[in-house]
A and B are shown apart, each in its own frame.
Chain A
């Protein structure tokens, strides 16, 4: 009986010391999670749960909040690459993107090459929405563009197509292993969503260079890094394993969640 009390006391004391140690040791104890460890994969599995639950809760027509003209109080804050220094981009920019075409390719019946004029001739959608950056800030702006669903209807995705991959003109990273151009992907549910547009206009004017001219994606139910700028090609794919590190986008390859709904 005395032994029992002693062992219980010893347990309590060691529990107390253990938790204090956790507090005092500083947080480099938990460094190393950035690598592709088992622990990282276990923790990141919560994102799959979030994706499933949010997809289940947000029926296909649930709209992101739209705001009024009075809520547009400042220019849209640019982030990431704001002035691509790629020669190919600069020459396209120099003649007002007259030679630029948006390619629609991959798992489609009818590949397309659309000029800005052709995109602008399509039925357009204008929406005043809040851009939420993964860093935490928000900015409200008015976006005008062609609904992605109309472009998909024209290109006719094949049944095995599951994701829309966006390829961009801007180089976001220069390294020894080569340059990396920005890219990203969304699922077909978001690609077909009513507010998902390829925007060529912002706040009533042509899309500025720092915000992605000539064309950028708006996926209003996700965070900013899911909305690539400086679009060059839209590719329908059944998997993104062959792109980059196989996680579906530039930031995803750098550890960010593929689903940016939270």
Chain B
């Protein structure tokens, strides 16, 4: 298994861990999700309120989250996030933030949206382009991973993985990493949930917001509790993906960023000596 070109092979051998198809789809997702996030926040800013149900309550309340700005008693503006009716001051970040020289009312700040200024039309153009890329890459990955065995061999947890779960959690908590060819239990579970639950859910809730798709699949919006709930779930899945991204990056730095990056770019990964290939 060791790369014959490598000098350190006898102590900490290099193994071929990531196939080309896994690496390509990984980077396509990374790029697509980056643009989808920032154009999605642009789209959200056009109406920075989330609801549950079939419609948006203007004469009744079914609001979950709202970002906005108000004038305080002393006339100073205040940005706020209202979550289930509880208002939190968020001036400078949410509801009210700096755009160039001035403070403007906008949901997410200008550094978090594409384009940086309010432009729903362009946000939609960017979002739907990368939505197609994401859908095609995920479908390609799923088919490829069923054929090449990646899904069964690397992602699907085995009985031993579940037995090992408490110990794996304890190891992660102490940032004690084992570099093996196979993913550890938490990796398998996390990648499985992200790729097979969160990504399909964010795609389906995105489609549930399309009036034409709701005519094609009459139960699509109702499946998620109505179009506005689908929009809220779409947003919640985005938060989960951002959370995953942060943990993913922290874990890469904790586990050895060069080795981890090499494996997802070239496929070759240096494993621990004792643990064997």
Binding site for B on A (CB under 8 A): 1, 4, 8-9, 11-13, 15-16, 22, 26-28, 30-34, 40, 42-47, 49-50, 54, 57-58, 62-65, 67, 71, 73-75, 77, 130, 132-140, 220-223, 251, 254-257, 260-262
Q: Which of B109-117, B155-163, B169-177 is the interface stretch?
A: B109-117
**Nearest opposing residue in chain A for B39, CB measure:** A30
Asked whether A140 and B55 contact (CB < 8 A) given A74-B60, A135-B46, the answer is yes
Asked if B54 and A27 sit within 8 Å, CB to CB, the answer is no
Asked if A4 and B120 sit within 8 Å, CB to CB, the answer is no
Q: In the bound complex, what is the Cα–Cα distance between A262 and B125 (angstroms)? A: 11
- Smallest distance from the beta carbon of B240 to chain A beta carbons, Å? 19
Asked whether A138 and B125 contact (CB < 8 A) given A73-B60, A74-B60, the answer is no
Asked whether A132 and B209 contact (CB < 8 A) given A27-B113, A138-B228, the answer is yes
Asked if A138 and B227 sit within 8 Å, CB to CB, the answer is yes
Q: In the bound complex, what is the Cα–Cα distance between A70 and B196 (angstroms)? A: 37
Contacts of B51 in A (CB 8 A): 137
Q: Which of B73-81, B178-186, B187-195, B212-220 is the interface stretch?
A: B212-220
Asked if A49 and B212 sit within 8 Å, CB to CB, the answer is no
Asked whether A63 and B215 contact (CB < 8 A) given A47-B125, A133-B47, the answer is yes
Asked if A33 and B122 sit within 8 Å, CB to CB, the answer is yes
Q: How many residues of B contact A (CB 8 A)?
A: 57
Contacts of A138 in B (CB 8 A): 54-56, 227-228
Query: Chain B at the A interface: mostly helix, strand, loop or mixed?
Result: helix
Asked if B58 and A74 sit within 8 Å, CB to CB, the answer is yes
Contacts of A139 in B (CB 8 A): 55-56, 58
Asked if A74 and B59 sit within 8 Å, CB to CB, the answer is yes
**Nearest opposing residue in chain B for A47, CB measure:** B128
A-B contact pairs, 9 of them (CB 8 A): A16-B257, A33-B126, A50-B128, A58-B216, A73-B59, A74-B59, A137-B56, A256-B120, A262-B210
**Nearest opposing residue in chain A for B226, CB measure:** A138
**Would you give the 0/1 interface string for B227-246, flagging 1 where the beta carbon is closer than 8 Å to chain A?**
11001000000000000000
Q: Could you say which of B49, B112, B124 has the most chain A C-beta atoms within 10 Å of its C-beta?
A: B124
Contacts of B262 in A (CB 8 A): 8, 12
List B200-216 residues whose CB lies under 8 Å from chain A: 207, 209-216
Binding site for A on B (CB under 8 A): 5, 7, 34, 38, 43-44, 46-47, 49, 51, 54-60, 110-117, 119-122, 124-126, 128-129, 131-132, 207, 209-216, 218, 221-222, 227-228, 231, 257-258, 261-262, 265-266
Q: In the bound complex, what is the Cα–Cα distance between A201 and B227 (angstroms)? A: 25
Asked if B115 and A73 sit within 8 Å, CB to CB, the answer is no
Asked if A136 and B125 sit within 8 Å, CB to CB, the answer is no
Q: In the bound complex, what is the Cα–Cα distance between A222 and B209 (angstroms)? A: 11
**Nearest opposing residue in chain A for B110, CB measure:** A27
Contacts of A133 in B (CB 8 A): 47
Asked if A64 and B55 sit within 8 Å, CB to CB, the answer is no
Contacts of B131 in A (CB 8 A): 46
Contacts of A9 in B (CB 8 A): 258
Contacts of B34 in A (CB 8 A): 22
Asked if A136 and B43 sit within 8 Å, CB to CB, the answer is yes
Contacts of B266 in A (CB 8 A): 8
Contacts of B212 in A (CB 8 A): 54, 57-58, 221-222, 261-262
Asked if B227 and A130 sit within 8 Å, CB to CB, the answer is yes
